[in-house]
A and B are shown apart, each in its own frame.
Chain A
């Protein structure tokens, strides 16, 4: 079947006497077509996605299949880089660290964010100022706050270490960043501190959509505070909570800045996350193919998280 617009334009052209007027008319119809308008409006967005998301992703995929290194385009090596990464003990540790870091940071951010949101949902003096100031950790650039924390955890000059050591309470300084396990927990702590406001503010917005009538009705039926939270607040807040958790998991799993500044992946490579290790191999050492393969190991995990999110949102829309 012929496109009605094109067909229409043909008719118009045959009717119009001067050929010029016919061309203008056809252009007018083209520009006024809804399909064309939709396409034109979509193009910038699509272009941004293609240039800034799809192109780097495809390039990373291509790099991961080649032996490219800085200044040398390399050659196709198939999945050799992935196989090398899979057998790399530092990568294995980085993967475990990433899962550990993401899991615990998300658990703490959710628990503390929820607690904070519930507190901020009450009426008290200076409520607005406190709500606004709570966002500070989220507003300060991560690099700056990570530097401040690094100073606080400094092996020699940590505030806590300095006090305890010079007052004679401890003879060996606490190994905040000089012991791998301690350092990873320190990173979890800093990530929690930084990410908690995002949880708190989003959950607070969710809390404010819950009608107080529901709480009143539950209270009249004899529900105590815990019951009101568990049977009224939590179910109604669940959709918002899941969306926030999913976003947080994505951001935390691919975190780079915080670890890079706080520990640089040390001591003895024990705090590397996938992103920091991929950076060290790919960018700092110039092994771009290997670095790309390492970073692409994040993809299946993040894809799974996004898939879960989309599926959940679709279900919610159904409800």
Chain B
């Protein structure tokens, strides 16, 4: 080919791709997006729930709304990074699942869904108060609460009975004593203190509060460095050494499930995924005596410290993104998915692992199926505090959670890297940088 012909051909090629248009638009071309809605969710710890989205919702949404639904799932730890990348590039999923107070962090990129939230609340007997705080910024709903995954302690009934406990310990001190005996029998408590989204903060935040510690005061001034916080860290260091599987420092949210199901730990703070898995695989997951493991599992709330008992239940919210070319379709999808007859299909396969966003779901007949799951039914009602307490669960609180400040404070002391006082000072310093 002669040079002139080559230049002509390549010039025509470039023109055909419409590169200039792409550059001018500052975004990659999106084809056939008008009738497509792309939703990004977490890899559900109850895999059957993801199957409902993919195998039930996809065809039904196509039929009911004429929308082609594209369901993508990723590890929950990767959701914030995906959201950041999508928002900055101005392209990506139309709906992104955001946990806890992350909607505050990404509120500038959200479509206002106040009307829809109002309808959902009205139809469902009211949205839970914590969910309202997590999903509204400046009085505007920036995302919709999809579900709450309560964190309760799953424990081996027979093993606790073997050490003389008919009931689960009511205080941290009693739990410490029980854990000591269990660890001596090679049945330690399993708890993650790793850099992970769920089981670590749902343990460390309520633990801190139950000793009277808090991140900030009502005016938003950092108040972490207190004798109450130091006391909580000091308690945990000994508790960790005496009663826990110390490998928990490197665990993510799935390690405790595996350790519990394999009979390596006696108790663990968890959504009900351990129990649900044991229930769904009763013929495979068994106790050392050969009985189905689920028959030896009970659930209990976190014990109380000197300043009472607290809980943190992980909130799963969904945000319609402002950059979406099909925000209308995305909103329609969420409206459709929240309708009782549709949501129920997803809700029942959860078997109580996730509770609904409104009080209506406490009345569902599913709760009558299994008394072991009953503590999950009303668990969201028992949540009085959110990350960022005693201030608001705002974007600063979300940043502190995302940086694992409170969890790392405990982990640094538990690993012996820092003394309790030093760990608290370090964490207060980190919060100070956030709350400036």
Q: Which residues of A contact B (CB under 8 A)?
A: 31-32, 37, 40, 70-72, 84, 88-90, 154-157, 172-173, 175-180, 183, 263-270, 279-288
Is the Cβ of B7 less than 8 Å from the Cβ of A31? yes
0/1 string, B75-87, CB within 8 A of A gives 1 = 0010011011101
* A71-B87 in contact (CB<8A): yes
Chain B residues with CB below 8 A from A180, complex form: 415, 417
The answer on a CB contact under 8 Å between A268 and B106 is no
Known A-B contacts A265-B195, A285-B399; the reply to A70 vs B83 at CB < 8 A is yes
- With A179-B415, A180-B417, A183-B250 known as contacts, the answer to whether A156 contacts B195 (CB < 8 A) is no
Chain B residue numbers with a CB within 8 Å of A155 are 245-251, 255
Task: Report the count of interface residues on B (CB-CB < 8 A).
Answer: 46
Q: Which of B87, B250, B259 contacts A70 (CB 8 A)?
A: B87
Residues 55-96 of B, flagged 1 when their CB comes within 8 A of A and 0 if not, give 000000000000000000000010011011101100000000
* A155 to B412 alpha-carbon distance, docked (Å): 17
Chain A minimum-CB-distance residue to B409: A268
Asked whether B42 is an interface residue with its Cβ less than 8 Å from the other chain, the reply is no
- 18 further A-B contacts with Cβ under 8 Å, apart from A155-B250, A268-B417, are A31-B4, A70-B87, A70-B109, A72-B108, A155-B249, A156-B255, A177-B247, A266-B195, A266-B411, A267-B411, A267-B415, A269-B412, A283-B84, A284-B81, A285-B80, A285-B399, A286-B105, A286-B106
Nearest B residue to A267, CB-CB: B249
Q: Once the chains bind, are A286 and B250 in contact (CB under 8 Å)?
A: no
Q: Who on chain A is nearest to B407 by CB? A: A268
List B357-406 residues whose CB lies under 8 Å from chain A: 399, 402-404
Measured CB to CB, the residues of B under 8 A from A are 3-4, 7, 77, 80-81, 83-85, 87-88, 105-109, 193-196, 245-252, 255, 258-259, 262, 264, 399, 402-404, 408, 411-412, 415, 417, 426, 429-430, 433
Residues in A neighbouring B258, C-beta threshold 8 A: 156-157
Report the nearest A residue to B2, measured CB to CB.
Answer: A31
Residues in B with CB closer than 8 Å to A72 are: 108
Measured between beta carbons, the chain A residues less than 8 angstroms from B415 are 178-180, 267-268, 270
What is the CA–CA distance of A264 and B404 in the complex, to the nearest angstrom? 12
Distance to closest chain B CB from A60 (angstroms): 12
CA distance A31 to B7 in the complex (A): 10
Chain B contacts of A285 at CB under 8 A?
80, 105, 399, 402-403
Q: A284-B84, A285-B399, A286-B105 are in contact. Are A37 and B3 (CB under 8 A)?
A: yes
Chain A residues with CB below 8 A from B106, complex form:
70-71, 286
Report chain A residues within 8 Å CB of B194.
264, 266-267
On chain B, the residues within 8 Å of A177 by CB distance are 247, 250
Looking across the interface, which residue of chain A has its beta carbon closest to that of B194?
A: A266
Question: Are B83 and A264 neighbours in the complex by a CB distance under 8 Å?
Answer: no
**A174 and chain B: residue at smallest CB distance:** B247
Residue pairs across A and B with Cβ atoms less than 8 A apart, 30 shown, are A37-B3, A70-B84, A71-B109, A154-B255, A155-B250, A156-B245, A173-B245, A178-B247, A179-B249, A179-B415, A264-B196, A266-B195, A267-B194, A267-B250, A267-B415, A268-B249, A268-B411, A268-B412, A268-B415, A269-B404, A270-B417, A281-B403, A283-B80, A284-B80, A284-B402, A286-B83, A286-B105, A286-B106, A286-B402, A288-B88
| Minimum CB–CB distance for B195 against chain A, Å | 4
Given A71-B108, A270-B417; A156-B247 close (CB under 8 Å): yes
Q: Most chain-B CB neighbours within 10 Å: which of A88, A279, A287?
A: A287
A263 and B7 contacting across the interface, CB-CB below 8 Å? no
Question: Which residues of chain A are within 8 angstroms of B88 by Cβ–Cβ distance?
Answer: 70, 288
- Tell whether, in the assembled complex, residue A156 and residue B259 are in contact, meaning their CB atoms are under 8 Å apart: yes
Return chain B residues, CB-CB under 8 Å to A279: 81
Query: Are the C-beta atoms of A286 and B247 separated by less than 8 Å?
Result: no
Judge whether A178 and B249 touch: CB under 8 Å: yes
Q: Kindly provide the distance from the CB of A20 to the nearest chain B CB, expressed in whole angstroms.
A: 16
The residue among B87, B109, B195 with the most chain A CB atoms within 10 A of its own CB is: B195
List, in ascending order, chain A residues with CB within 8 A of B247's CB: 155-156, 173, 175, 177-178
B424 CB, min distance to chain A CBs, angstroms: 14
Chain A's nearest CB lies how many Å from the CB of B137?
Answer: 12
B263 nearest CB across to chain A (Å): 11
- Closest CB in chain A relative to B422 CB, distance in Å: 11
Contacts of A37 in B (CB 8 A): 3
Q: Do A89 and B426 contact each other (CB < 8 Å), given the known contacts A31-B3, A286-B80?
A: yes
Q: In the bound complex, how far is the Cα of B108 from the Cα of A71, in angstroms?
A: 6
Chain B residues, Cβ within 8 Å of A154: 255
Q: Which residue of A lies closest to B88 (CB)?
A: A70
Q: How far, in angstroms, from A132 to B276 measured CA to CA in the complex?
A: 46
List chain B residues, Cβ under 8 A from A265: 195
From A31, A32, A263, A287, B250 is in contact (CB under 8 Å) with A263
Q: Verify A283–B403 contact, CB threshold 8 A.
A: no
Bound CA span A269–B410, Å: 12
Q: How close is B74's CB to chain A, nearest CB, in angstroms?
A: 13
Provide the residues of chain B in CB contact with A179, threshold 8 Å.
249, 415
Contacts A180-B415, A279-B81, A284-B84 known; A264 to B246 CB distance under 8 Å? no
CA distance A54 to B116 in the complex (A): 45
Give A208 to B259 CA distance when docked, in angstroms: 51
Residues of A within 8 A of B4 (CB): 31
Closest to B436 in A: A84
